[in-house]
Chain A
Amino acid sequence: MNLQTLQVNLLNLVKSRSDIDDLDDAYLREVASSQNLVLAKKIVLWWRQLQIQNYCVLTTRLLESYGKFEKYTQQFATQKFSVFSEEAGDEFIDFINLAEDTSPLLRSVSTFEKALIKLYKGDTIDEVIPWCYEPMSVIQSLLDRTFSESVLQSGDYEVRVSNELGANLFSVAEINPALT
């Protein structure tokens, strides 16, 4: 077996895209049935979780409070992601935003956080993100690690993240407050 065949097959095994039934080679079958492969996948997941926890704190804490962090990161770890942790962090946010079962709140929090990160990196940004709950209480409770359903106050809000806002970074506006 040459290097190309070996590496492509091991990539597919580590990313759970193939299993022992797909393989003829004795060595690859040994790997596919080994505890080492289980462990390798565990380590890949551990690194991704560490990167994501460090990169997008608000999104991670919201996912954790919903008990979905493990599920989403497990799915993400089998995808194609960047070797650069910051780019992989952005890819993770895009990944959960595209997931069918992503809630509007999760979409708002993760999009808001991605915009803030861009701002922090020095990118030019002016983005308005719709929220269906009062944003400040959600953001504060995620920072304090006290988030629960009880902090959610329904309403129509927009959060603007922009370089134009200077040190404030973002602003919150309630849309049609009389109707809520």
Chain B
Amino acid sequence: MSLSVGTTYEGRNFSYLKKILPYVQHIEISPDSLAYKSKDEVAIRPDCLEELIWMQQNSAANLLVHGISLSIGSYDGYSKEYIKLLDQLFGNLNIKWHSEHLAYTTVNGEALGTMLTLPRTTETVDLICRRVDSIQKRFKVPFLLENVINMLPMPPSSYTDAAFLNKICSLTGCGLILDVYNMECDAHNFGLNILSFLDELDLNNVYELHVASGQTDPDSNFMMDIHAGLVADSTLDLTGDIIQRNPKKLGAITFEILDEFIERISPESIIEELIKIDQIVNKSYEPANASS
């Protein structure tokens, strides 16, 4: 048994999906990028849904769902429209697990236009846990939360980064996606001590790792998590380090790439990257029960 290696797919590029399928063990979709809204009704585009149904009928690749617009941390409630999209996906497809960023994208129903992290306070823990419980009752597959890069200075907090994640996981039983590149961004931008963070984090809650690249703003030297290219060696090295810590539930490594950059990089380069990631992560991977 090895770690599943896969990548993201944003729909409407069926030839690309068919090209990469032989090289992945899972595909990660974002309901948001597959959705359309017409006459105030939000739904998954029929053509995208057909592509995914075809994929499940013609390939052994698992399907993972990774949301953007649930906005689980909005004080005024999370997105009911996003839940409708999940209902539609779960009603039509076999989904192994689903996830969302531990963040908020809307306030008072208005899109921020970006994603902001939450203050690590008791109020936030209570709010997130109630919502995670509700989501886990509705969808009977594991639900994961992902660490997001800090864009703004962190407000006064009661928990460390790792303690905040540990607390939410222990109270709800949800899992984590650990975004390796985001950790590097936080280390570069805000001085996150990655080793201390990993030492404190309960890695047994981690189901999935995200690897990606980004861009650095030339004016501020700020690293941004814009998934624009192939994965840097530093990110792959750190991924290997995390795998060697033997997280017990870890099952998947996802290479994230924005649709807009696929042709610039080329599908062939993405396939080479997937093969390279597979070789790296599965070389350092030891199944959790192998030593027992």
User: Residues of A with Cβ closer than 8 Å to B?
Assistant: 1-4, 6-8, 10-11, 14-15, 27, 30-31, 34-40, 42-44, 46-48, 50, 54, 77, 80-88, 121, 123
Contact = CB atoms under 8 A, between A and B. Distances in A.
A162 B61 CA distance: 40
Contacts of B108: 8, 11
A3 B151 contact: no
Nearest to A2: B123
A79 to B, nearest CB: 9
Contacts of A6: 119, 155
B112 interface: yes
Contacts of A37: 152
A8 B110 CA distance: 10
Given A34-B152, A40-B152, A84-B32, A4 B113 contact: no
B116 A10 contact: yes
Contact of A14 (B74, B112, B226, B260): B112
Nearest to A4: B75
A141 to B, nearest CB: 23
A46 B217 CA distance: 12
Nearest to A53: B260
A30 B153 contact: yes
Contact of B127 (A3, A14, A31): A3
A83 B119 contact: no
A84 B37 contact: yes
Q: Decide if the interface of chain A is mainly helix, strand, loop or mixed.
A: helix
Contacts of A36: 151-153, 220, 222
Interface string B214-249: 000101101010100000000000000000000000
A43 B37 contact: no
Given A11-B112, A87-B37, A35 B104 contact: no
A73 to B, nearest CB: 11
B38 interface: yes
11 contacts: A3-B75, A10-B152, A36-B152, A39-B220, A42-B217, A80-B110, A80-B111, A84-B36, A84-B69, A88-B111, A123-B38
Interface of B: 32-33, 35-38, 42, 68-69, 71, 73-76, 79, 81, 104-108, 110-114, 116, 118-119, 121, 123-124, 127, 151-153, 155-156, 217, 219-220, 222, 224, 226, 260
A127 to B, nearest CB: 16
A37 to B, nearest CB: 7
Given A80-B111, A83-B68, 16 more contacts: A3-B121, A4-B75, A8-B107, A11-B108, A14-B113, A27-B156, A30-B153, A39-B151, A39-B217, A39-B220, A39-B224, A82-B37, A83-B32, A84-B32, A84-B37, A86-B36
Nearest to A54: B260
A85 B33 CA distance: 8
A177 to B, nearest CB: 37
Contacts of B112: 10-11, 14-15, 44
A123 B40 CA distance: 13
A105 B243 CA distance: 57
Contacts of A27: 153, 155-156
A53 B229 CA distance: 19
B38 A121 contact: yes
Contacts of B37: 82, 84, 86-87
Nearest to A13: B152
B153 A7 contact: no
Contacts of B152: 10, 31, 34, 36-37, 40
A7 B42 contact: no
A35 B260 contact: no
Contacts of A48: 113
A3 B113 contact: no
